[in-house]
Amino acid sequence: MTGRKLAWASLFWLVLFGILLALGGWQIQRLHWKEGLIAQRHGAMSGPPIPLPPSLAAASSLEYHHIRLDGAFANDGELYLHAIAADGKPGFHVVTPFRLADGKTILVDRGFVPKDRRDPATRAAGQLAGPVRVTGLLRLADAQPSSWFRPPNEPGKNLWFAINLPAMAAADHLGPVLPYYVDADASAIPGFLPRGGQTYAKLPNDHLQYALTWFGLAGLVPIYYVLFVLRYRQDRKDRIAGKARPI
What pLDDT shows up at residue 144?
Answer: 58
Q: In this predicted model, what pLDDT tens digit does every residue of 94-119 receive, in sequence order? A: 999 999 988 899 999 999 999 989 99
> Does the pLDDT at position 247 exceed 70?
no
Query: Higher pLDDT residue, 156 or 244?
Result: 156
Predicted pLDDT of residue 21:
93
Predicted confidence at residue 55, as pLDDT, reads 87
Name which of 83-97, 123-137, 185-199 the model is least confident about.
185-199
Dist. CA 137–CA 232, nearest whole Å: 64
Mean pLDDT of 152-180: 91
Q: From the CB of residue 160, how many other CB atoms can be counted at a distance below 10 Å?
A: 23
Model confidence at 158, pLDDT cuts 50, 70, 90, reads very high
User: Distance of CA 233 to CAs 2, 3, 17, 104, Å?
Assistant: 11, 11, 22, 81
| CATH (residue range 65-192) | 2.40.50
Separation of alpha carbons 229 and 117, rounded Å: 70
Nearest Cα to Cα of residue 158 among 172, 148, 146: 172
Rounded mean pLDDT of the chain? 86
Q: Can you give the pLDDT at residue 147? A: 59
| pLDDT tens digit sequence for 25-47 | 999 999 988 888 888 788 778 88
